[in-house]
Every structure is written in structure tokens, then in C-alpha cells.
């Protein structure tokens, strides 16, 4: 690789490398965890969708593999570029974010009552998925510009507005899950940027009031903020025994699927998946397929791979060469963590159904490519941070 | 500048952004991540390791359904082993009610309630029959239309069958068509997507070879009702199973139905079949061998039909073995083809046409459930009571001037015919009413109401205990009975505030009078009995005091004909009949078929020497209707004695309709040439 030639330019370089404990220009653990999840994803989708389309058992696997390859290519490209350049593009990227969501709202195809994607010739593009990464990149850039006035509450409000505007638009699709991811990203960027605790406390109080309003007060006067299916999901989650509708059914079937996997899984006897009792088995509920087919062992392995990614991402946050990198890493960490927790939580029954995909596992090009972009960004931050540290070391050596 | 692109304004070049504050916040993120992962891990541990086995069971319940496999029902045989009822396999196209819209099911339930109310309303007061609700949606109508074109029946018929069956059994599969052809079956099964909820299953339907009739006696099968499921007699029967609902099918259902098997079928979430295996083998039902004689039964049905050709509207016959109460033949007219009820009836209108009141209510088994005044065939009971109490002796002569005057009332013979001085034998031979009126008058003041008590001893006024459902107990009127009727009428008038109309079912609020007893003595007035009860009474007189329990079932046999169980029907009780009295009465009965006896001309060609007939005509007055014709006969025989009672509603005099029918049956039973002719006697 060309990057390594730079490092191995001189003996001093190699020494510095050893001193810093950095052998490679990319985070190997992160790469391995990502590839591991990609393999898990392909295996699980293969198992889950074997009989979904008669005559072409590999339909979904092949597509997912293509998405991985495309996503991987994009990740490599991002890794080789300096993420700091993205700061200059913040207006363009933020504009792209808003416009793409609006496009979906206006022209998107309706699937299950909401417009989330635009049908393109090769695949349907889900704007909110790419939007998650776009928001991390652009919001972090805006935050950097205001970083001197971080203690000012107006700064916090401005940043919140920038982050919550796309969240509100996504709510209109309606896609509550993605909107929540946007909120999580916004809070994460603010958190890493150093917004004072008091501001978070105030925001928390406001959010509590807003939730109370939208769930209790406004419906009472006839304004419904949440859609009825969203309320059903909440009800199904809070009172699983009282609902016999599809929401309670899905979560119950998912719980049965995971539970029936026991310690080592049911292998090809995974009837919950095979006989379609488990809904959305290759997308939102893919974790339940893992749990049923490969049991606690498989589920724990997948979770561990996620834990590795989170750990590496947090570590990359700390070695970023500048605050922008730290903000990006922080946003990405929370974006992944939130999605993993909400999705897996949904399948095991500790979270309500929100329709958030499991990053890198769920079938779907938009989510997969967006997540691969995020991984590429992390690698870029790592590589840049490493280079900065190395040059710092060289300066030290010359002094 | 090492990195010219880095324009971070806050920090100098190369400076790590990791301030203590940021480090703290990163640590917090790490802590949050740890907590979230822990929650998931613990939940996973709980679900998969701690309670995994429970989920395995739930997953199995999800996909495995247990469905019943109907056991083939046992056959019903006659006394010689000839098959009366058996099974034949049939393909039935069924519709799963769960695949119908909720509105359709609700509409069917509402319609069912309306129909019940309508059917309960008296004919004169009820409006038009409630209309069967249309399919609740255009989509459903289309589904019906598609099915209809495949099955070759009308959409309306499908709708009607669905609604009717849903109203009766809301959760059972709807039988849309029995006997679908193989081609139709394959067509439907190859296109499950086009015909949601449609299945074609093999069932057994009842088949009636031999054409012996006996429709009411054999009965019918039908889906078990929710009430029946709770009853002890249907223990082990599952919802939707076919059980006996009427007749022999009902009373011996326990043996006939066998044990349904179960089949475990594996389905996917859409309910599509993925595999199946037998989890419990079916056990075929056992056969019931009955005492019925197929020949005699056929002959009885035919004789009754021809007896009714002279104006009769309905009728019944019962033939018993007087030694043990075995039912040799039992029929009711009008009747129907029992195989009609093995399949769903197309519509309520069709049902009414075939089985309604206008068709003579053919489902009603008049032989056991009919309650009629018996006319003169009651006279032997009166005679026995009078002899036993000493009101008369066998030689007592009573002058019969054609009328008996009691107070202001005059009681006449039929046609006011005068018979002169008659003894008991003669009185029975010519059916002198005045003779028996006199006994009724003289018995009335005696203690213990002897005629009534003898009638009860001989099996009237209560069910005989035959092994068929729906038997009537009839009425033997006495003082207490009349008191109860009067009380009922008063209570009714008090409750409604209206006066009981003349046709009020209760009474006319008069006390018991000698007139009532006089009417009873000749089987008129308020007395009511079924042909079966009269057959038991005659059997008792014929056998000398054993009140037999009439029964059809003889043995339970396995599929292969091995006898598994004997059905015992011990006599209800014994009564003491002085053989001298029995002899006198039998002598009178025999004389009535000889010389100038009331049925002598009917048996004019009969070989009385070989098969002496002890018979009695009866003509019950049922104003405003025409008279009801009765005949009771006993023919002794060392090997095959028989008692036959027949009646023809609106058939006229006993000798006219019922007696020839009995004669024909006797000819069949004893393999004699048919020489019967309608009698001309105008007596009661």
C-alpha cells in the first residue's frame, strides 16, 4: 500500500511506529470486526431467505454481497482521503441531507404506509440512512465553527436546530426510528463538542415535556403527533399481553425465535424463520434469526463484534488528530451504538418496535453503504491521527 | 505546518484534542456502551439459556396443529346382518371460517338469531322469513363466484350454505359441497392462492343400501353442537366432529362413532401445509346389530303407504316380539329418503319443502313420538281392569241397545248400531262401545281408578324406554290429571289476564266426571298413546304379564363381525294377569278376526288355523279431522310370535286402513300369500 511506503521511508519512522504501538495505517481490529459482521450478515441472510424467492435462494445474499463490496470500496476511498476536507463541504453536505429527505417525502415510493425510499434503477435509495452519516459530518463541521462559544446557550440551540431539522423531516415520512437516530447523533456531537451539562439538562427537561405533550396532552385535544401504528407499538411493548395485534405478534415471535435457539441454536431446524413466523427476518429482525439459528453462541459472537467496533471507534475518537475527527468519531459511535441497542433490544423485547435496521447485518443497500462509509471515516480518522502523531514524534526527534 | 488541511482554529497543529474534559466524556460514552451491551447480554442469557426450553415449546405450538381425522362410523345392521346404514367416502369442499371476514360471521350470527325467533313465532303471526344476508364485501362475493363456477352451483347457494352453517356452528369448517369430483378437487388444491381458506377433505357420509326406509328410526348424523360437547355422553368428542343426532345414530353413537384420530400438521405463518404425520390412528366405529327385520320393515313401509292412499295423511307402525320387546319393524309416514340428509341441504326453502310442516313433518317419528287417542284398541285394557276387579266376569252379559244413557248424556255406538246382549268375547268381536261404556261407568266410582291404573301397569302414560330418542309418554286422564289441567288453565288466565280460548290446551275447567271414564274405556277423550306404547300393552297381554322394554339394539359388533357386547333390555316390570282373564280377552280378539268380527273380512283369506290372528280394530274420533284408523294384532308362534300396531291418521275406520296394513305385514312375516283386503266394518 502506498500509505505504508510513507511510513517505512526511514529507520526513524519505523522506530517511531514501534514507540507509538502503531504497525498499520488502519485499525486492524475494526477491519476484522467489520468483515466478521459482513460474513455473519451474509450467512444469516442466506439461511433466512433460502426459501423466500422460489428458484433463487441466493437472491438476497448476492445483493447484500454487492452492497458490501460497493460499501467496502467507498470505505477504502474515504480512508485514503483526509476527512478534514469534508468540513469545507458542510453546506453542500447539509443541503444534500435536507434535499434528499425532501425528495423522498415528495417522490418516494410508499412501503407499509410511509415514504422512506426513492426507487432508483438498481436499488431503492433510503435517504435517511445516508442522512445519518451526512448529519454526523455536517453537524460536526458546524460545531467546530462554534467551538469557541460552546458555553453559550445560543450555540447549543443553534446546533440543536441544525441537527433536529432533518430529524423532524424524517418524522414526516414517517420514520420514527431514523428520527431518533438523528436525535442521538445530534446529542452525541454536542456532547463530544463540550456543551455544558446544564444545557443537556435543559434539553432533557424540554424533551420530557414534549414527549408528555405528544403522548398524552395533544391526543387528548385531538392532535395526534404519533401515528396510530406507532402508538400500537408502544402499547404492545409496554403491555405485551394486552395486544393480540401484529405489533405484539412480531415481538412475541421474535422472542420465541431467539429463545428457541437456546445455547447453540437450532441450525436448519429453525422453524420460526423457515416458516415465516418471524417477520422481516432478513431486515429488521435479522438478529432473531441469528439467535434462533446459532443460539446464544452466535448472538454473543455478533454482539461481541459490535462491542469491538464500539471500542475501536471510541479509541479512534481519542487518537483523532483534531476535534473534528473526534466529533465525527463520537457521532459515529453513538449512531452505531444507538442502532445496535435499539434493534437488538427490539428483537429481545427490551425496546419497542421502531424499524431501525441492524447496522452491517440487516439486508439493505442504503443502510449498509452508509455504515460502511462511517467505518471508512473512522479508518480515515485513525490514519490521519496516526500520521499526525508520527510527525509529532519526528518533530520531537528533531528537537 | 505538517498538515495544511487542518484548519482547526482551537488547537495548535499536532496537538491532541484529548482534553481532560473530552476524556471524561469519552469514558462516559464507553460506560453507556457497557451498560447497554450488558442489558442485551443479560436479556439474551435469560431468553436463550434460562427459559429457552419454553420458547422451543412455543415454537412447536406455532407450527404444529393437531387436527382430527374422522373415524369411519360403524354400520347399522338388521337382525340377519343385512346392512341398513354404512359409510361411503366422499370428498367434501370446506371453507375455513377464519378466512372469512368478521362482518360475514357477525351477519350470519345475527341471521341465525332472527331465524330462531322467526321459527318460534306462530305461523299465523310471523312475517316473511328473514333474508339470508348477502356477502359482506364485493371481494367475498367474487370469491364465492369463483368457487361457484368451479363447483357448478350458484353463488347464492354458496352464500346460503356458508351463512346457515356459520349460524349453527360459528367455528366449524363450512361444508360447501359434498361429493366434489376429482377434477374439481385437483383444480382447487393446485390453486391455494386463488381460493383462500378452501380445503378438500375426505369424509365419510352415510349410505343406506337396501332401501328399507326406516328413515326416522335410523336417524341422522351431524356436527356435534357446543351444548353436546359439554355432555358426558360426548366425552372425548372434539369440536366439529360428526356424531349421531337422531334415531339409532344418536342412541348408539357411543359405539358407532369410533375414536377420531389426530394428525399433526406442520404449517407456516401463512397457514400453508409443510408436512403432516398421523399422531393417533383412527379407530373405526363398531357396528350395531338391531332386531329390525329388513323384509318386514320394507313391507311395513309399503303397506303403510298403500293404507294411506285412501285419504290418510300420516301413519305409523310398530312390530314387536312380544316375548322380549325386540322391535322387528318400526316406521312412520310421511317419510323421506335418509340419504338426502347426508349432504347439506341447499337452502332453507329446500329444507322446508323436504322436511317442513307442509311436507307432513317427515322427521317426526310418529311410531314413538306420536300421541293419539287410540280408539277401540284400548278396550282390552278396560276389559282386563274390569275382570281383575270383578266388575264383570267372562260370562257377564250386558244388553247393548246402541246407546248408554248416563244422567243427561247419551253415549252411542258407532252408527248407533244395536248389538243386543253381549258378553266380553262378543263385545270385543263386534267392538260394542256400550259394553265398555258400561264398564267405564261402573269402574268410575271404584277405588283406585282401575282402568287408569291398568293402563299404566301395561305401559301407558310413561315412556316405554325404547333405545331411541324423542319418545312421547302420552296421557292417561284421571281425577288428578284433570285437576292439574284445570290449575294450569287458571294459572294461564291469571298470568295473561285473558280467557282461555276454546282450543286452549288445558281443559274447560270442569271437574272429573263419569263421562271422562266412559270415554277412556273406549280409548277416546283425553287419552293419548303412541303406537309403540299400545304395542307394549298388547305384548304384555299376549305374554301373560311381562311388560317388555322395546329395544332395537341387539349386539355391538366389530368391523369384522365379531360380537363385542350384548345389549340387554330387561323387561320394565311384571304384572300379574290371571290366565283366565288373558284367555277371555285373547278369545275376544281372535273372534274379531273371524265370523262377523270387525276385521274378519280383512283376514278372510288368512290361514287362521296355522297363524291365528288376535286383532282389534280402533277408530279414534279426532274432530274436526276425519277419524284415525288403528289396528293391533297378535299372532302367537313358537318361533316367531309378533305384535303389530298400526295407525293411519285421517284413515277412517280401523278396518279400512290400519287393519289391511297389519295384515300385509303379517303375510310378509309368516311368508303367507298376501290376501288382505280393506275391511268394511263401520265400528270403532
Contacts of B266 in chain A (CB under 8 A): 271, 275
pLDDT of A20: 55
- B97–chain A nearest CA distance, Å: 19
Q: In this model, does residue A9 exceed pLDDT 50?
A: no
Nearest-angstrom CA–CA distance, A117 and A107:
9
- Chain B residue whose CA is closest to A149: B10
Per-residue pLDDT, B634: 96
Strand, coil or helix: B91: strand
| Beta strands at B327-333 and B314-320: parallel, antiparallel or unpaired | antiparallel
Mutate to test the interface with A, among B1, B22, B63 (most CBs of A within 10 A): B22
Read off the pLDDT band of A13 (50, 70, 90).
low
Q: What is the pLDDT, as a whole number, of residue B499?
A: 78
DSSP B272: -
pLDDT of residue B116: 78
* Distance, C-alpha A283 to centroid of its chain: 14
- Helices (H), strands (E): how many in chain B? 22, 23
CA distance A71 to chain B (A): 25
Residue B60 in grid coordinates: 412447536
Q: B502 pLDDT band (50/70/90 cuts)?
A: low
Give the residue extent of every domain in chain B: 64-82+210-290, 91-201, 295-341+371-558+573-669
Closest partner residue to A255 (CB to CB) among B5, B47, B49 is B47
Q: How far is B187 from chain A (nearest CA, A)?
A: 22
User: What's the pLDDT score for residue B611?
Assistant: 94
Of A260, A277, A337, the CB nearest to B269: A277
Contact A262 B6 (CB under 8 A): no
**Using a CB-CB distance cutoff of 8 angstroms, which residues of chain B are in contact with residue A310?**
33, 37
The ipTM assigned to this model is 0.88
What is the CATH architecture assignment of B295-341+371-558+573-669?
Answer: 3-Layer(aba) Sandwich (3.40)
Classify B64-82+210-290 by CATH class.
alpha beta
- Note whether B44 contacts A322, CB cutoff 8 Å: no
Task: Let me know: does B493 contact B499? Beta carbons within 8 Å.
Answer: yes
Number of helices (H) and strands (E), helices first, in chain A?
16, 3
Element (H, E) at B3: none
Average per-residue pLDDT for chain A: 84
Strand pairing of B76-77 and B573-574? unpaired
The DSSP annotation for A160-224 comes to HHHHHHHHHHHHHTT-HHHHHHHHHHHHHHHHHHT--HHHHHHHHHHHHHHHHIIIIIHHHTT--
Predicted confidence (pLDDT) at residue A242 exceeds the cutoff of 50? no
Phi, psi of B107 (to 5 degrees): -65, -40
Kindly list the residues from chain B whose CB atom is less than 8 angstroms away from the CB atom of residue A272: 59, 62
Cβ separation A276–B270 shorter than 8 A: yes
Subunit contact B47:A259, Cβ cutoff 8 A: yes
Q: How much is the average pLDDT of B262-287?
A: 75
A39-43, A110-114, A216-220, B255-259 — which is least confidently predicted? A110-114
The pLDDT value given to residue B6: 43
pLDDT value of position A7: 39
Q: Which three cell numbers mark A309? A: 467496533
| Residue A369 distance to chain B (closest CA, Å) | 23
Q: How many Å apart are CA A218 and CA A225, to the nearest integer?
A: 8
Are the C-beta atoms of A28 and A309 separated by less than 8 Å?
Answer: no
Q: Round to whole Å and give the CA distance between B656 and B310.
A: 9
Please report the pLDDT score of residue A106 as a whole number: 84
Please tell me which residue of chain A has the smallest CA distance to B35.
A341
Q: Are strands B287-290 and B76-77 parallel, antiparallel or unpaired?
A: parallel
Q: Which pLDDT tens digit goes with each residue over B117-136?
A: 887 777 777 777 788 888 88
* Closest partner CB to B48 (pick from A84, A147, A261): A261
Average pLDDT for residues A242-269, to the nearest whole number?
Answer: 77
Over 60: is that where the pLDDT of A22 sits? Answer: no
Between B483 and A248, the higher pLDDT residue: B483
CA–CA separation, A287 vs A340, rounded Å? Answer: 10
- Residue B9's pLDDT is 42
Q: Hey, of A323, A347, A350, A358, which one would you mutate to test binding to chain B, going by the most B CBs within 10 A of its CB? A: A323
| pLDDT at position A286 | 92
What is the rounded average pLDDT of the residues B624-637? 93
CB within 8 Å: A341 and B36: yes
pLDDT tens profile B567-590: 888 888 899 999 999 999 999 999
Cross-chain residue pair A345–B39, CB shorter than 8 Å:
yes
A325 interaction partners in chain B (CB closer than 8 Å): 17
State chain B's mean pLDDT as an integer: 86
Out of A185-189, A342-346, B128-132, B151-155, pick the least confident. B128-132
The mean pLDDT value for B371-378 works out to 93
Answer yes or no: is pLDDT of B173 > 90. no
Question: Which residues in chain A are contacts of B4 at CB distance < 8 A?
Answer: none
- The answer to whether the Cβ–Cβ distance between A350 and B40 falls below 8 Å is yes
Among candidates B41, B59, B270 on the partner chain, residue whose Cβ is nearest the Cβ of A260: B59
Task: Report how many Cβ contacts below 8 Å link chain A to chain B.
Answer: 174
B326-369 per-position pLDDT tens digit: 999 999 989 998 888 877 666 667 778 888 888 888 999 999 99
Comparing B500 with A318, which gets the higher pLDDT? A318
The pLDDT of residue A116 is above 80:
no
Query: Residue B297: its pLDDT value, please?
Result: 95
Q: Which residues of A touch B20 (CB under 8 A)?
A: none
pLDDT at B39: 94
Q: Is A17 helix (H, G, I), strand (E, B) or coil?
A: helix
pLDDT tens by residue, A67-100: 999 999 999 999 999 999 999 999 999 999 999 9
- In angstroms, what separates the C-alpha of B262 from chain A's closest C-alpha? 22
Question: C-alpha cell of B405?
Answer: 244413557
Alpha-carbon A138 to chain mean position: 16
Which of A34-48, A206-220, A338-352, B513-527 comes out lowest in average pLDDT? A206-220
- What is the model's pLDDT at position B8? 42
Evaluate if residue B560 carries a pLDDT over 60. yes
The runs of H, that is alpha helices, within B431-578 are 433-443, 450-457, 479-496, 514-521, 531-543
Q: Provide mean pLDDT across the span B618-632.
A: 91
For residue A1, the number of C-alpha atoms closer than 13 Å in the C-beta half-sphere is: 10
Amino acid at each position: 500500500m502506498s500509505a505504508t511506503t510513507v511510513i517505512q521511508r526511514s529507520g526513524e519512522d519505523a522506530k517511531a511506529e514501534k514507540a507509538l504501538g502503531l504497525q498499520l495505517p488502519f485499525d486492524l481490529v475494526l477491519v476484522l470486526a467489520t468483515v466478521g459482521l459482513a460474513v455473519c450478515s451474509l450467512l444469516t441472510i442466506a439461511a433466512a431467505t433460502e426459501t423466500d424467492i422460489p428458484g433463487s435462494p441466493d437472491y438476497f445474499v448476492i445483493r447484500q454481497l454487492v452492497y458490501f463490496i460497493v460499501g467496502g470500496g467507498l470505505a477504502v476511498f474515504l480512508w485514503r482521503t483526509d476527512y478534514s476536507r469534508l468540513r469545507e463541504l458542510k453546506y453542500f453536505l447539509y443541503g444534500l441531507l435536507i434535499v434528499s429527505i425532501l425528495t423522498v417525502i415528495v417522490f418516494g415510493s410508499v412501503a407499509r404506509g410511509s415514504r422512506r425510499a426513492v426507487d432508483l434503477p438498481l436499488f431503492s435509495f433510503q435517504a435517511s440512512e445516508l442522512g445519518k452519516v451526512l448529519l454526523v459530518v455536517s453537524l460536526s463541521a458546524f460545531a467546530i465553527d462554534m467551538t469557541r462559544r460552546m458555553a453559550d446557550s445560543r450555540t447549543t440551540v443553534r446546533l440543536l436546530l441544525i441537527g433536529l431539522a432533518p430529524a423532524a423531516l424524517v418524522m414526516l415520512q414517517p420514520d420514527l426510528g431514523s428520527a431518533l437516530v438523528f436525535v442521538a447523533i445530534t446529542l452525541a456531537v454536542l456532547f463530544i463538542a463540550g456543551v455544558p451539562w446544564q444545557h443537556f439538562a435543559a434539553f432533557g427537561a424540554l424533551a420530557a415535556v414534549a414527549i408528555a405533550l405528544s403522548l398524552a396532552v395533544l391526543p387528548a385535544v385531538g392532535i395526534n403527533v404519533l401515528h396510530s401504528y406507532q402508538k400500537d407499538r408502544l402499547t404492545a411493548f409496554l403491555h405485551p399481553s394486552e395486544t393480540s395485534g401484529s405489533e405484539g405478534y412480531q415481538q412475541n415471535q421474535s422472542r420465541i425465535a431467539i429463545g428457541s435457539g437456546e445455547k447453540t441454536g437450532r441450525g436448519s431446524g429453525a422453524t420460526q424463520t423457515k416458516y415465516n413466523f418471524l417477520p422481516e427476518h432478513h431486515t429488521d429482525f435479522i438478529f432473531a434469526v441469528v439467535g434462533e439459528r446459532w443460539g446464544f453462541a452466535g448472538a454473543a459472537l455478533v454482539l461481541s463484534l459490535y462491542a469491538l467496533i464500539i471500542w475501536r471507534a471510541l479509541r479512534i475518537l481519542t487518537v483523532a488528530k483534531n476535534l473534528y475527527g473526534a466529533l465525527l468519531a463520537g457521532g459515529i459511535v453513538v449512531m452505531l451504538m444507538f442502532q445496535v441497542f435499539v434493534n437488538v433490544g427490539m428483537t429481545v423485547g427490551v425496546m419497542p418496535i421502531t424499524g431501525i435496521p441492524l447496522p452491517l447485518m440487516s439486508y439493505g443497500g442504503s443502510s449498509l453503504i452508509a455504515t460502511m462509509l462511517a467505518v471508512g471515516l473512522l479508518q480515515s480518522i485513525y490514519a490521519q491521527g496516526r500520521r499526525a502523531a508520527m510527525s509529532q514524534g519526528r518533530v520531537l526527534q528533531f528537537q | 505546518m505538517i498538515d495544511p488541511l487542518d484548519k482547526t482554529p482551537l488547537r495548535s497543529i499536532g496537538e491532541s484534542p484529548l482534553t481532560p474534559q473530552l476524556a471524561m466524556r469519552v469514558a462516559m460514552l464507553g460506560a453507556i456502551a457497557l451498560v447497554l451491551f450488558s442489558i442485551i447480554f443479560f436479556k439474551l442469557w435469560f431468553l436463550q439459556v434460562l427459559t429457552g426450553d419454553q420458547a422451543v415449546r412455543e415454537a412447536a405450538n406455532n407450527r404444529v396443529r393437531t387436527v382430527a381425522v374422522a373415524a369411519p362410523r360403524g354400520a347399522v345392521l338388521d337382525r340377519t346382518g343385512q346392512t341398513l346404514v354404512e359409510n361411503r367416502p366422499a370428498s367434501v369442499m370446506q371453507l375455513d371460517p377464519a378466512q372469512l371476514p368478521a362482518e360475514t360471521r357477525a351477519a350470519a350470527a345475527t341471521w341465525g338469531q332472527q331465524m330462531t325467533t322467526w321459527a318460534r313465532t306462530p305461523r299465523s303471526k310471523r312475517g316473511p322469513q328473514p333474508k339470508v344476508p348477502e356477502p359482506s364485501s364485493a371481494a367475498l362475493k367474487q370469491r364465492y363466484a369463483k368457487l361457484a363456477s368451479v363447483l357448478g352451483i350458484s353463488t347464492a347457494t354458496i352464500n346460503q350454505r356458508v351463512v346457515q352453517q356459520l349460524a349453527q356452528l360459528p367455528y366449524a369448517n363450512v361444508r360447501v359441497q359434498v361429493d366434489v369430483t376429482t377434477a374439481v378437487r385437483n383444480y382447487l388444491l393446485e390453486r391455494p392462492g386463488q381460493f383462500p381458506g378452501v380445503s378438500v377433505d375426505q369424509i365419510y357420509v352415510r349410505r343406506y343400501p337396501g332401501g328399507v326406509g326406516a328413515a326416522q328410526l335410523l336417524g341422522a348424523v351431524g356436527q356435534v353442537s357446543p351444548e353436546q360437547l359439554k355432555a358426558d355422553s360426548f366425552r372425548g368428542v372434539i369440536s366439529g366432529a360428526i356424531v349421531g343426532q337422531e334415531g339409532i345414530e344418536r342412541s348408539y353413537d357411543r359405539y358407532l362413532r369410533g375414536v377420531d384420530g389426530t394428525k399433526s400438521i406442520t404449517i407456516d405463518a401463512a397457514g400453508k401445509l409443510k408436512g403432516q404425520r398421523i399422531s393417533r390412528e383412527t379407530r373405526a366405529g363398531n357396528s350395531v346389530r338391531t332386531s329390525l327385520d329388513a323384509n318386514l320393515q320394507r313391507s311395513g313401509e309399503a303397506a303403510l303407504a298403500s293404507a294411506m292412499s285412501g285419504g290418510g295423511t300420516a301413519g305409523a307402525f310398530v312390530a314387536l316380539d312380544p316375548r322380549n320387546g325386540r322391535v322387528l319393524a318400526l316406521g312412520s309416514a310421511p317419510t323421506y329418503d335418509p340419504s338426502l340428509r347426508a349432504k347439506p341441504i341447499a337452502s332453507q326453502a329446500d329444507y322446508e319443502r323436504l322436511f317442513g310442516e307442509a311436507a307432513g313433518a317427515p322427521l317426526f317419528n310418529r311410531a314413538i313420538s306420536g300421541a293419539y287417542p287410540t280408539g277401540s284398541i284400548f278396550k282390552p285394557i278396560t276389559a282386563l281392569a274390569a275382570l281383575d276387579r270383578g266388575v264383570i266376569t267372562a260370562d257377564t252379559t250386558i244388553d247393548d241397545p246402541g246407546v248408554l244413557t248416563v244422567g243427561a248424556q247419551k253415549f252411542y255406538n258407532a252408527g248407533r248400531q244395536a248389538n243386543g246382549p253381549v258378553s266380553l268375547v262378543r263385545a270385543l268381536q263386534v267392538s260394542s262401545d256400550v259394553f265398555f261404556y258400561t264398564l267405564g261407568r261402573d269402574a268410575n266410582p271404584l277405588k283406585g281408578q282401575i282402568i287408569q291404573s291398568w293402563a299404566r301397569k301395561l305401559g301407558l302414560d310413561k315412556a316405554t324406554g325404547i333405545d331411541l330418542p324423542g319418545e312421547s309418554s302420552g296421557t292417561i286422564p284421571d281425577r288428578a290429571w284433570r285437576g292439574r289441567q284445570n290449575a294450569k288453565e287458571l294459572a294461564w288466565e291469571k298470568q295473561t289476564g285473558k280467557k282461555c280460548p276454546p282450543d286452549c290446551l288445558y281443559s274447560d275447567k270442569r271437574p272429573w266426571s263419569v263421562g271422562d271414564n266412559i270415554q277412556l274405556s273406549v280409548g277416546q277423550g283425553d287419552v293419548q298413546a303412541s303406537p309403540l306404547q299400545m304395542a307394549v300393552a298388547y305384548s304384555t297381554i299376549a305374554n301373560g304379564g311381562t311388560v317388555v322394554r322395546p329395544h332395537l339394539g341387539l349386539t355391538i359388533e366389530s368391523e369384522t363381525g365379531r360380537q363385542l357386547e350384548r345389549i340387554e333390555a330387561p323387561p320394565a316390570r311384571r304384572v300379574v294377569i290371571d290366565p283366565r282373564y288373558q284367555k277371555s280377552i285373547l278369545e275376544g280378539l281372535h273372534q274379531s278376526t273371524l265370523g262377523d268380527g270387525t276385521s274378519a273380512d280383512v283376514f278372510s283369506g288368512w290361514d287362521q288355523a296355522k297363524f291365528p290372528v288376535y286383532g282389534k280394530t280402533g277408530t279414534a274420533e279426532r274432530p274436526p279431522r276425519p277419524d284415525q284408523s288403528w289396528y293391533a294384532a297378535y299372532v302367537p308362534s313358537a318361533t316367531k310370535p309378533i305384535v303389530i300396531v298400526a295407525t293411519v291418521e285421517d284413515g277412517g275406520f280401523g278396518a279400512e286402513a290400519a287393519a289391511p296394513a297389519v295384515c300385509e305385514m303379517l303375510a310378509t312375516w309368516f311368508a303367507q300369500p298376501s290376501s288382505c283386503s280393506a275391511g268394511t266394518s263401520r265400528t270403532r
